[in-house]
Amino acid sequence: MGNYFFDSATVFEELDRVDGKAKVTGQAKYSAEYEMPGLAYGVIVGANISKGTIAAIDINAAEKAPGVLGVVTHLNITKPAGYIAADATKPAAVRGLKVFDDNVIHFNGQPIALVMADSFERATHAASLIKAQYNKETFSTGLEQAMKDEKPLEGNQYKESIRGEKDAWKNAAVKVEGTYTMPNQVHNPMEMHATTVKWEGDDKVTVWEKTQGVKSTQRDIMQAFALTEKNVQVNTLYVGGGFGAALRTWPHAMAALIGAKKIGKPLKVVLTRMQMFTLVGYRPEAIQKIAIGADNDGKLIGMMHEANAVTSNYENFTENIVKMTRALYSCANVTTKYNVYPVELSTPTWMRGPGEATGSFPLECALDELSYQLKMDPIELRLKNYAETDPENGKPYSSKFLKEAYQLGADKFGWKDRHPIPNTMMENGWKVGVGMSTGIFGAFRNEAKLGLKLMADGTLIMQTAVSDSGPGTATAMTKIAADAMGLPYNKIKFELGDSSLPPGPTQGGSSSTSTVGAAVSTGCVTLQKKLAEAAKSSPVFGHIVAVENFLFQNGEMVLKTDPTKKLSYSEVLKNAGMTSIEFIENSGRNPAMEKYSAYSYAVHFVKVLVHPLTGVVKIAKAVVAGDAGKIVSPKTAKSQMIGGVVGGIGGALMEESVIDERYGRWINNNFADYHVPVHADVPAIEAVFVDKPDPILNPVGSKGMGEIALIGFAAAVANAVYHATGKRIRELPITPDKLI
């Protein structure tokens, strides 16, 4: 096509993270780290029953404890306007759990009080003095039990979807069938959720909040307290990891807003690690049945995928668990069904890779199983059923380089050395297995506004109200602008994390680079036009104004027909008598996308070692090959993919919620008991990219990456474990007890 910015001739050096120095020196400030006079500390007290009502709550001792400034409960709360629906036919503005709204307990750990004091120690101590009595009701927290006792929720999103013939798989020559389980998994970003609130009067508030969307948080607060946009300021300069857990305005944040208002002081509420398990979502437990039938050549005849998952008893959470089965392979007959059961747990939320990560586990394990029955290489089986157009709607893909990704990953991994028979390879007394899988996730581009300011000294400042939970948005955007404008990196500043900036999207669903990158890209085109227009006043160009006549490189406009004629951007501004060029670029979807389907893909390759006696599984090697469109910032992109794989290792081998069903309480609600990967669990991981632009989705050519990095990984591990041992483990995590 030739019109990608990355086709330009300028060769840039690999860019280190633009916020790297702030992060390695401890200067990067997260939401609990803002100092202000009179700052009070709030501690949330959680219910210790799972269902019922609060009969009595005694806050007397807490109120009298040293340093205590106030206590909020359902009995003394001043309810925000958004708790009450203006008209009875509509829901209230505050969705989900309205903290301290009434005495009803929906889950264990639900906030029943907020204790505020002049120090963290005093608030923590006083919180321990709150005593509640309850009327308890029976409850259930486990999916298996709920599936026996309850009916799933009803609604369109839960309807069976049938493509072709319903039971076609049953009549196929070769069949596999299985039930797969996965426990609740918890995001557990390293930074615990924190909200710092400062009210000025009753109708103006500034909030430092851990959020993946400063604008969505601002909107939630506006609606909750009936405030105007300019009176709600949300600041999120740094986010210590999100993975989906910071996509919502959670009850503790509302509690902080309510509490700070009550005591008339700035207030900071930080969750404890234990509360991170109950108050900010989790990936819901799932039990899934899958069945696949193929002919003797491996052509898929039919597929059936039924997913069952949990939600809370006060909110319906749904995600795309079964969609991947309909979308990944070419297969005429596919039936999917998604059942959701409410239990007495808090509402789940999207966790990295969201539903697709859950659904890919049975799908990609079943494909593997089928490949062994067919005595066919697992990659060959996938290629045999490669979808050239979207099986769901017949649309062509905006781009699809999955074939290339299979090849690239297989070469990098050394897939050809795989012995086709399971349970045959050994190394130093350990069984060796290799496995692979495919991940797919929709590629999106949403709306964004971007402020651009070209300053008199030739510096380009870009601003949009997004936050970055780690991938490195500012770094990627700096690269795009540097490339487009021919500016050195140090002349570019990307500002984010402030709700008063032009509105940007929430960071989620792997869409930041596509969405914001598109705005940067088209914004730079607009800037070039404006520069050309301004250059009218510069006689050197002989009053040529059409932008096509210029190159933009090394911070200069250069006349194409006579490269000796050039001017720096500063000089252009100076000659035009301008101190800056400032404007807001609006960026939206490409209408041409209507005709296309867009997906990103990952292919995971894993080598495991399984100890024959103890059943310990070690990841010896992992390679992930991605089709994520054009790679904007290779260094941070690799890190993001590697990070997804590390998350995947957790899900595959160790992450598991354990809930004591007698009490409905999380037993392993800390890092000593809820295991996440540590250094010793993680080998060298290689991330490679096809790195070909998507010509339609957005002008940068990028697709998403954050989710595919993890989707399918657990299946690759399970497949490798099968290859090593001949045992098909259908239950995550794959802990040693399942292998001995």
Partner 1 sequence: MCQQPTNDAEKQPSLHHARRNFLKQTSALTALALAPSVVMKAAEKKLDEKAAGFFEQKTLNIEVNGKAHQLSVEPRATLLDVLRENLHLTGSKKGCDLGQCGACTVHVDGKRVLSCLSLAVMQNGKKITTIEGLQQGDQLHPMQEAFIKHDGFQCGYCTPGQIMSAVACISEGHAGTDNEIREYMSGNICRCGAYPNIVDAISEVAKKGGSRD
Question: Which one, 526 or 639, has the nearer CB to partner 1?
Answer: 639
Instruction: Tell which one of 259, 458, 644, 704 touches partner 1 (CB under 8 A).
Output: 644
Instruction: Tell which one of 642, 653, 688, 715 touches partner 1 (CB under 8 A).
Output: 642
Give yes or no for residue 682 binding partner 1 (CB under 8 A).
yes
Q: What is the dihedral of CA 453, 456, 457, 460, to 10 degrees?
A: 10
Q: d(Cα 582, Cα 570) in Å, to the nearest integer?
A: 14
Tokens (6 digits) for 459: 């510096």
Question: Which one, 470 or 626, has the nearer CB to ligand FES?
Answer: 470
Q: If contact means CB under 5 to 8 A according to the sort of partner, which of ligand FES, partner 1, none does residue 88 touch?
A: none
Cβ–Cβ < 8 Å for 667, 109: no
Cβ–Cβ < 8 Å for 196, 231: no
Give yes or no for residue 269 binding partner 1 (CB under 8 A).
no
Q: d(Cα 94, Cα 81) in Å, to the nearest integer?
A: 9
Question: Which one, 68 or 718, has the nearer CB to partner 1?
Answer: 68
Cβ–Cβ < 8 Å for 4, 630: yes
- Can you name the residues that pair with 68 across neighbouring β-strands? 117
Neighbours of 144 (CB within 10 A): 14
Q: If contact means CB under 5 to 8 A according to the sort of partner, which of ligand FES, partner 1, none does residue 677 touch?
A: partner 1
Instruction: Tell which one of 636, 698, 719, 725 touches partner 1 (CB under 8 A).
Output: 636
Residues between 557 and 586 with contacts to partner 1, criterion CB under 8 A = none
Q: If contact means CB under 5 to 8 A according to the sort of partner, which of partner 1, ligand FES, none does residue 245 touch?
A: none
Instruction: Tell which one of 24, 85, 190, 426 touches ligand FES (CB under 6 A).
Output: 190
Cβ–Cβ < 8 Å for 198, 206: yes
Question: Which one, 210 or 323, has the nearer CB to partner 1?
Answer: 210
Give yes or no for residue 56 binding partner 1 (CB under 8 A).
no
Question: Which one, 190 or 740, has the nearer CB to partner 1?
Answer: 190
Reported in sequence order, the residue ranges of 443-549 that DSSP labels E, i.e. its strands, are 448-455, 460-463, 492-495
Tokens (6 digits) for 249: 């305005």
Question: Hey, is 231 helix, strand or coil?
Answer: helix
Half-sphere exposure of 285 (CA within 13 A, CB side): 23
Residues between 214 and 253 with contacts to ligand FES, criterion CB under 6 A = 241
Residues between 105 and 134 with contacts to partner 1, criterion CB under 8 A = 118-122, 125
* Rg over CA atoms, the chain: 27
What is the contact mask toward partner 1 in residues 661 to 680, using x (rule: CB under 8 A)? ---------xxx---xxxxx
Q: If contact means CB under 5 to 8 A according to the sort of partner, which of partner 1, ligand FES, none does residue 689 touch?
A: none
Q: If contact means CB under 5 to 8 A according to the sort of partner, which of partner 1, ligand FES, none does residue 28 touch?
A: partner 1
Question: Hey, is 230 helix, strand or coil?
Answer: helix
Residues between 189 and 208 with contacts to partner 1, criterion CB under 8 A = 189-192
Instruction: Tell which one of 170, 273, 453, 618 touches partner 1 (CB under 8 A).
Output: 273
User: At its nearest, how many Å lie between partner 1 and the CB of residue 58?
Assistant: 15
Burial of 540: CB neighbours in 10 Å, binned 0-12, 13-18, 19+: middle
- In the chain the first and final C-alpha atoms are separated, in Å, by 56
The DSSP 8-state label assigned to residue 212 in this structure reads S
Task: For 69-92, give the DSSP string.
Answer: EEEE-TTT----GGGS-SSTTS--
Residues between 227 and 246 with contacts to partner 1, criterion CB under 8 A = 238-243
Residues between 64 and 93 with contacts to partner 1, criterion CB under 8 A = 64-67
Q: Whose CA is closest to 78, among 260, 228, 208, 271?
A: 260
Active-site residue flag, 404? no
Q: Which stretches of 349-494 are DSSP H helices?
A: 354-374, 378-384, 402-413, 473-485
Strands of 685-689's sheet in order across: 425-427, 430-442, 599-610, 617-627, 685-689
Tokens (6 digits) for 374: 């067919």
Among 390-398, 480-488, 528-536, 643-651, the segment contacting partner 1 (CB under 8 A): 643-651
What is the contact mask toward ligand FES in residues 470 to 509, using x (rule: CB under 6 A)? x---------------------------------------
User: At its nearest, how many Å lie between partner 1 and the CB of residue 236?
Assistant: 12
Among 144, 686, 707, 731, which one carries the catalytic annotation?
707
Question: Which one, 546 or 684, has the nearer CB to partner 1?
Answer: 684
Among 22-30, 42-50, 168-176, 373-381, the segment contacting partner 1 (CB under 8 A): 22-30
Active site residues: 707
Site for ligand FES, rule CB under 6 A: 190, 241, 470
